[in-house]
Structure 1
């Protein structure tokens, strides 16, 4: 296949992050070409736990429906010391939620659903299998990329190159960049097996189980009657020997026998892993940006790897679209790096704590873990120390985009925070607030008076020619307003009349005010809607 000579966006890497980024860009009308070195979706389960935030991001392109229909939802898990339970944890969830806290599904399914979402706009997004970046030259106006596509050398000029090509990123290597941080020595064998089971879907962990003394072992159920089994090997075991079936299968059988899973089973996939806490200092280098494992490697414990990569895509897509559409200068992309590097450092801190408990790096950590586990058998107060700290959305406290808080009494949804979910009523139809995210900016107004409502409508109207206009959501009881039937919005955003939130396309709070003037809202939106204008009335109350 002959590749195009020029594309606005070239995405190196067609894994879940690259494909999701391409799908998100199509929703903004941005064309891209994705290059994937393999000839199909990945093999094996790989990253299997998809967080609520990731489900929301996939929902922006319609990929959530297949995900939730196929995946196995779960809300908690259990940990055992030897053969005794020491922890039963539950993640926050409620009957009115849009998504489960976590869904188990194999990574190749996420890739497939993201690819299907891309194909909703075939005129904008294309994927080339068996194509890899072999070299690049970046300058102020773009990037010239050398590509090996099915054995044929070609050159593609891109306005922007996004490196989503994984932990062994060719783009990162070609640019002479190195991930910095630490790598743990402890190794885990990862095994997918097919076996029917009637157990509930939970995250299960055993420390020093009788089936595999001295090891730590994790189990997750997946679609298709598949168990994912991760177990730690001894430091003195040869990794190449450890993944041979004759060494893996007896250990799996021993554990299945211990927990009473007696149905016939067969292995599907075997791999090996060790935890890394690594990141680039910046995810923007001129016209080259990094996302997912190409920019950071996070331990699997706490499921922050793929989920943080999908969050990268959700953060980057709208900003890159705004730049390419001429709605913002390319300096907006600097905030992508600031926010997502901050998020990575938070994820690495949590991931390191989880790794040091799951795979203690030295005798001191092993001794402390042993003490915690022994105490947890008899003291409930100690059990939270064993909590695996599952992935959660990160607050962008230091983001340069955050505006001064003009409604500090309104509650916890401050600028830089992910906008809390709330179930609202749109006429006869229930709708979650997050359903309105993923396109343009949203102005959320709590019980606005007539003047404020009219001013917000005027602001929205003046963005009507923008690719993704401002959307106004009024919360109240009058005609055309959404009703806070369950009181969730009042609880999470504050109920004072005249409170206004501006929410970014990626669902983060940009700013908030009590009874703002049109001038204040105009100034907040002008960087993202350059044509916005209220003329002589801009200093009046909105």
Structure 2
């Protein structure tokens, strides 16, 4: 909602573009590889991911502009890696605010702080804050320039039909309806997905009782970029208040509604302003401020039983809804989009069998369920739903200042990298037992600075790749394994890391230490930077087997 006198797109800091509605000149259009429903961040990331592999897509969007309100604001390190792969990271780095820390208060007293893992010389920070309008603008700007992507604004999905080799979408546009044929359909049309409803599918899971109001305000407040959580604030505005800084002097304030409060009353502009004023005073901010936007949400952990329905794939909120605690929603959706994007790319280019697409739901739904475990704990602590949980929370908060063991309970478990460790397609070998640390199979690889400049993952391409640790430049093993792997994946690359020093300040040695690597150690990575296997000692036969398994060829 916007203040009185301003429409939905009247922002204090962002100018919404107005795009022309698409007009179709045919009742039935030619078949294209992929139709994407929804031009939000997840849909556009899917389109750019597909384009990276030469796959054409048409993106349908019912509106004629970006989503209103700042919505999702936190982007994780893993999302920045995705943006780098699709070529949009520079815009984000110029605008977004990076952060690593958070502070927790019990009333007016600071009881603890936390810092997210952030290795020395790692390329990206753990978290960045930026309004969703900018996220959509940066992605749209890249998609608009890509000849493989066509965005059709003012185009509403009416019906979906699946046949043997076709998906037919009936679309309503400015000059009537038309049918659009495609091989695959990606539903990125949000929590109220028209695609999902059209196919008779529904989200299942748990709805939490806690409700939150959310407001964005413009104010010049001299505080660092970090997450602030106030439990039982002295202003008595609610049980919990969360505060995040955004670019352009915009601040996000969330507060838990009191039991029995009417949403209708809460949403009144005068009541929103009253609460915001109290929170700002509690933050020791006495500057003039303006209200930008506000809304209400409740915490839910909901998802589909399967993220694939025939030739239709669900990504982002159309597939799952998670609480905002820990900023998992959009970041999970971006991971969906890229996971599906590289797999569709490989299948479309006949580099992998269609069975590879079955791993999309297996992996991404598995990641969602893992998120649910942490999100459920966070939601019950942040918005306790029973007297028992309220007593637990009160006890933890009372103990947290002077007892370290209680402090982790106050941390909403900020977005940690998802893992595919339980996925059946992840190769496990006996050599895994020889590692004492490092990045285990299924986990996301770290990206550290190397000798000579640049970062580890800068050397990756768009295919599978290997990291091998050698002591001499002339060692033929790197070239040999690259040529053999390219028989199965022409995009395969080898990254050779030379270890000729054990000085603590040697960057290659530091990387080897973090990966628990020695001369001859090999890591196999997928296009999304997840570890597909690792070997303490080079074993080409096993590496080739693992590559084929990861590509769905075994």
Normalising by structure 2, report the TM-score: 0.90
Q: Distance in 2 between matches of 1:402 and 1:83?
A: 48
Bigger shift: residues 410-419 or 150-159: 410-419
Q: 1:336 to 1:448 in 2, by over 3 A?
A: farther
1:100-145, CA deviations, whole angstroms, 9 ceiling, x for partnerless residues? 1111100111111111222342x20011112121111112312111
Which residue of 2 is the match for residue 412 of structure 1? 438
Residues 516 and 181 (structure 1), Cα distance of their counterparts in 2 relative to 1, 3 Å cut:
same
Equivalent positions of 1:291-310 (< 5 A) are 291-310=315-334
Tell me the distance in 2 between the aligned counterparts of 1:202 and 1:238: 31
Aligned position for 2:469:
446
1:192 Cα offset (Å): 0.7
Shift of 1:76: 0.8
Is the 8 Å Cα contact of residues 161 and 169 (structure 2) preserved in structure 1? yes
Asked if residue 223 in structure 1 is aligned to residue 247 in structure 2, the reply is yes
Q: What is residue 114 of structure 2 aligned with on the other side?
A: 89
- Give the corresponding residue for 2:98: 73
Runs of 5+ unmatched residues, structure 1: 532-542
Instruction: Compare 252-261 and 43-52 and name the one that shifted more.
Output: 252-261
TM-score calculated relative to the size of structure 1: 0.92
For each residue in 1:182-208, what CA deviation from the matched residue of structure 2 results, as whole angstroms up to 9, or x when unmatched?
Answer: 111211111011111221111011111
Q: 1:432 aligns with which of 413, 430, 455?
A: 455
Aligned pair count reads: 520
| Backbone CA RMSD of aligned residues | 2.1
**Cα distance in 2 between the residues matched to 1:63 and 1:214:** 39
Deviation track 1:239-294 (CA, whole Å, cap 9, x = no partner) reads 12211111100111112122221111110101110011001111111101111000
- In the TM superposition, residue 434 of structure 1 has moved relative to its aligned partner by 2.5
CA deviation map 1:202-245 (0-9, x unaligned): 10111111123443111111001101111111231111221111
Structure 2 match to 1:261: 285
Residues 102 and 115 in structure 2, CA contact (< 8 A), matched pair in contact too = yes
Distance (whole Å) between structure 1 residues aligned to residue 536 and residue 438 of structure 2: 15
Q: For structure 1, which segment, 164-173 or 213-222, has the greater mean C-alpha deviation from structure 2 after superposition?
A: 213-222
**1:162-194 residue CA offsets vs partner (Å, 9 max, x unmatched):** 111100111111111111101112111110111
Once the two structures are superposed, the pairs formed by residues 244-259 of structure 1 within 5 Å of their partners are 244-259=268-283
Consecutive unaligned residues of structure 2, counting only runs of 5 or more, are 1-22
Instruction: Say whether the 8 Å CA contact 1:57–1:438 is kept in structure 2.
Output: no
Alignment of 1:106-505 (within 5 A): 106-121=131-146, 123-150=147-174, 152-408=176-432, 409-410=434-435, 411-425=437-451, 428=452, 430-437=453-460, 439-447=462-470, 450-459=475-484, 462=487, 469-476=491-498, 485-505=507-527
- 1:460 deviates by 5.5
Query: Which residue pairs with 1:50 in the alignment?
Result: 75
- How far apart are 1:377 and its partner, in Å? 3.5
Alpha-carbon distance between aligned partners in 2 of 1:439 and 1:484, rounded to the nearest angstrom: 28
CA distance in 2, matches of 1:457, 1:162: 33
